[in-house]
Amino acid sequence: MDSEVYIIGRDAVPQFLRLDAGEARSMTLVVPPGTSARLGLEIDLCGPGASLDLAGVYLCNDAERVDLRVLVRHSSGGCTSRQLFKGIVGGTARAAFDGLIYVAQDAQKTQAYQENHTLLLSGTAFAESRPQLEIYADDVQCSHGATTGYLNPDELFYLRSRGIPEAEARRLQMAAFLAPVLSRLPESLTEEIYAGLP
């Protein structure tokens, strides 16, 4: 299934979606460099067998303010949701990801997963991650994970020791970090993003 791609600042992004029984949807949100945005997205899985595959990438290396709020609501049982958000934050940019998975009392056999990983490029950049689970059903599989870190210096030295210049080595590390999300995008957009990496 091809993923629907929404580029923040260029495309209109839905604020509320409902997925009915058996409906499957794959979406990828892209916040390109230079874009400050406040985005709220609520997705309600309200029929059995609905499945959501949601990913996002945000690239802010200057002074951007990015604020993403995602609510995935499992109203019906037997639905699956997967979320993967990755961000690169540098300069004096600030990025916040607020993700809530809500599982209603009747929504048994829910599978809901959420990951948010951020790479900080400078000591003045700021990233916040608030993953939250609110679960009222008892027979569910849910997980969330969040990490924030810097480029790995051992990787960087390894790449440079093979003759790859420092700036290119850093871009390679960033591309590798973003790869799981970028692989969902059309090639032209992926190339645009690669070219815009600091």
Partner 1 sequence: MNNEVLLEIKGLRAGVEGKEILKGVDLTVRRGEVHAVMGPNGAGKSTLGAVLAGRPSFTVTAGSVTYAGRDLLALSPEERSWAGIFLSFQYPVEIPGVSITNFMKAAVNARRKAAGLPELSPAEYLKLLKEKMALVQMKGEFARREVNVGFSGGEKKRNEIFQMAMLEPTLSILDETDSGLDVDALRIVAEGVNRLRTPDTAALVITHYQRLLDYIVPDVVHVLKEGRIVLTGGRELVDRIENEGYESIHG
**Binding site residues, partner 1, CB under 8 A:** 152-155, 157-166, 168-169, 172-173, 175-177, 179-180
Nearest distance from residue 119's CB to partner 1, in Å?
12
Report yes or no: 95 and 35 within 8 Å, Cβ to Cβ: no
Nearest distance from residue 54's CB to partner 1, in Å?
21
Q: Which is nearer to partner 1, 124 or 152 (CB)?
A: 152
The Cα 110–Cα 187 span in angstroms is: 33
Q: Which is nearer to partner 1, 123 or 163 (CB)?
A: 163
Q: Which is nearer to partner 1, 159 or 189 (CB)?
A: 159
Nearest distance from residue 191's CB to partner 1, in Å?
14
Q: Which is nearer to partner 1, 71 or 164 (CB)?
A: 164
Residues contacting 153, CB < 8 A, separation 6+: none
Report yes or no: 55 and 85 within 8 Å, Cβ to Cβ: yes
- What DSSP state is assigned to residue 3? P
Nearest distance from residue 64's CB to partner 1, in Å?
24
| Amino acid present at 125 | A
The DSSP code sequence of 58-77 is EEE-SS-EEEEEEEEEE-SS
The Cα 62–Cα 93 span in angstroms is: 6
